[in-house]
Structure 1
Amino acid sequence: MFGDMMGMMGKLKETQQKVEATKKRLDTVLVDEKSQDGLLEITLTANREIKKINIDDNLLQDKEQLEEYLILTLNKAIKKATSVHETELAAVAKEGMPNIPGMDSFLK
């Protein structure tokens, strides 16, 4: 019994280390998003840190339009980056979980 418990604790510690390594790796995974017409381009990391924003000169003429573009495109980029982030971390966590009947459906 204690051997199983120690094995599980070791596996959990290993999984925790893998999760931390994955979080660091996600700093290097870039997610790009563009406005529909391509006038605004945004690049984020999968950890949702903004790395680059390219604004077409035409958008600089209208403050309200630029603000609208930024809100829409940033929200789409954040949603995409969050999806990558959650998928990657869930895969690592699932890999490290002990084989407990019924847990597969819980983690989906």
Structure 2
Amino acid sequence: MFDKLFEAQQKAGEVKQRLDGIQVSGSVEGGKITVVANGNKVLQSINIDPEFLKEADKEELEELMVLAVNKALEQAENVNQAEMAAMTKNMFGDLGGMFGK
């Protein structure tokens, strides 16, 4: 049993490392603001088009930043879930057949 627990911890660590190397992004207004995050849902960078920044007002900038961050984090969540599901399937096999699926 401890072997399985140790293996699970090891696999989770490997997945976390892999997710650190995966980059996803959220972009709004045709790329005027782009937010990059990794698969572990950690923001890596924010890029704001300089021309847009000159013209935008505070409220517009704040609203678009929130949208871009949420898009990036949604992409990161999707990647994260897919990687975790793949790890679980590899560790435990496809158990769906046991439950009539």
- Please indicate the TM-score interval, normalised by the length of the shorter structure: 0.7 to 0.9
Say which SS state the counterpart of residue 67 (structure 1) adopts. helix
Identify unmatched segments of 5+ residues in structure 1. Answer: 1-5
Identify the range of structure 1 (54-63 vs 70-79) with the bigger mean alpha-carbon deviation: 54-63
Q: Which residue is 1:18 aligned to?
A: 11
> Please, which runs of 5 or more residues in structure 2 have no aligned partner?
none
% same residue: 36
- Alignment of 1:35 with 2:28, yes or no, is yes
Corresponding residue of 1:59: 53
CA distance in 2, matches of 1:73, 1:35: 6
TM-score between both structures, scaled by the size of structure 2: 0.81
CA RMSD of aligned residues (A): 2.2
Residue among 70, 79, 90 paired with 1:75: 70
**1: CA distance between counterparts of 2:61 and 2:83?**
33
CA separation in 1, counterparts of 2:93 and 2:36? 37
TM-score by length of 1: 0.77
Q: State the Cα distance separating 1:12 from its structure 2 match.
A: 4.3
